[in-house]
Amino acid sequence: MRSFYCVTCGAQFAPSEAPPASCPVCEDARQYVPEDGQRWTTPDALAAGHRSELREEGGYLGVGLEPGFAIGQRALLVPLGESNVLWDCVPLVDEPAAAEIERRGGLAAIAISHPHYYTGMVEWAHRFDCPILLHAADAEWIMRPDPSVELWEGETRSLGDGLTLIRCGGHFAGGTVLHDARAGALLAGDIVQVIPDRRHVGFMYSYPNLIPLPAEAVTAIAAALEPYAFETIYGAWWGRIVPGEGSEVVRRSAERYVRALRGELP
Ligand SMILES: [Zn+2]
Ligand SMILES: [Zn+2]
């Protein structure tokens, strides 16, 4: 029995003898099945061809996989008390990287913005013996159920030390961001998307399929973030960082987006 990974989105599935028949995450309108069909890999094959990459990323330690796999996001290690929260997730962690994370206090929890990054969360939770905090509204997208998964409900959840999970919705019903009040930072996954000019952000229902969000959803994301002050916005990939005026960037970008939906192009 092996816990197969979907090569396209990185979702890891409950242990089985044969690869799953299909990937519900990729068959959803927010993802895609490649032209040449669905492919699968195993934890051993993935580990054989990849290594963990740890790199300073703004004020945090970034955690990625080299070479990139599936969607290619990196995670961030966010200090919490004597330990850390892993914000978002990557498919695997190798022992040198795990040892460095242990040296920095290990993991108190894993928190993930949305189902596209659920990927190897159970591998991580078992390695560090910690819970995985996921919003209950996205429970149907958990492909590898595990006792370490802890669903939370409502609009916010405090983790302590000025860290707050905020449900924004939008891209997914349970779409969540992490506010770090100490650093004045918003860790946004792709719920709030950092785009090239670093002075705006974007919002989408589907990024690969270019399906926008309705105006109400974008207004709701901006409203959910209005009570929180932040300068820096960390997107989901290496180097995707808005360096300043983050709160104003979100406000301005949501207004521009809603105007564009009305036909007032920038
Ligand atoms: Zn998939
Ligand atoms: Zn996504």
Which residues, 6 or more positions from 5, have their beta carbon under 8 angstroms from its beta carbon?
A: 11, 12, 13, 40, 41, 42, 43, 46, 70, 91, 119, 120
Structure confidence at residue 26 (pLDDT): 98
Residue 248 CA to ligand 1 centre (angstroms): 35
User: For residue 18, what pLDDT band results from cuts at 50, 70 and 90?
Assistant: very high
Residue 148 CA to ligand 2 centre (angstroms): 22
Residue 136 CA to ligand 1 centre (angstroms): 20
The amino acid present at 257, given as its one-letter code, is Y
Write out the residues surrounding ion ligand 1, Cβ under 5 A.
Answer: 6, 8-9, 11, 23, 25-26
Query: How far, in Å, CA of 266 to CA of 255, rounded?
Result: 11
Residue 103 CA to ligand 2 centre (angstroms): 31
- Closest ligand to 30 CA? 2
User: For residue 222, what pLDDT band results from cuts at 50, 70 and 90?
Assistant: very high
16: left (phi over 0), alpha (psi -120 to 50) or beta: beta
Residue 82 CA to ligand 2 centre (angstroms): 31
Residue 125 CA to ligand 1 centre (angstroms): 21
pTM of the model: 0.98
Neighbours of 248 (CB within 10 A): 12
Residue 39 CA to ligand 1 centre (angstroms): 9
- Closest ligand to 39 CA? 1
Structure confidence at residue 73 (pLDDT): 98
Residue 160 CA to ligand 1 centre (angstroms): 33
76 touches 62 (CB < 8 A): yes
**ω into 67 cis (within 30 of 0):** yes
- Closest ligand to 204 CA? 2
Question: Distance of alpha carbon 173 from its chain centroid, rounded?
Answer: 14
Structure confidence at residue 211 (pLDDT): 98
- Closest ligand to 4 CA? 1
Structure confidence at residue 253 (pLDDT): 98
Please choose, from the candidates 145, 42, 46, the residue with its C-alpha nearest in 3D space to the C-alpha of residue 93.
46
Mean pLDDT, residues 91-99 taken together = 97
Mean pLDDT, residues 95-115 taken together = 98
Structure confidence at residue 130 (pLDDT): 98
Write the CA distances from 239 to 169, 188, 189, 202, 204, integer angstroms: 24, 13, 13, 16, 20
Average pLDDT, the chain: 98
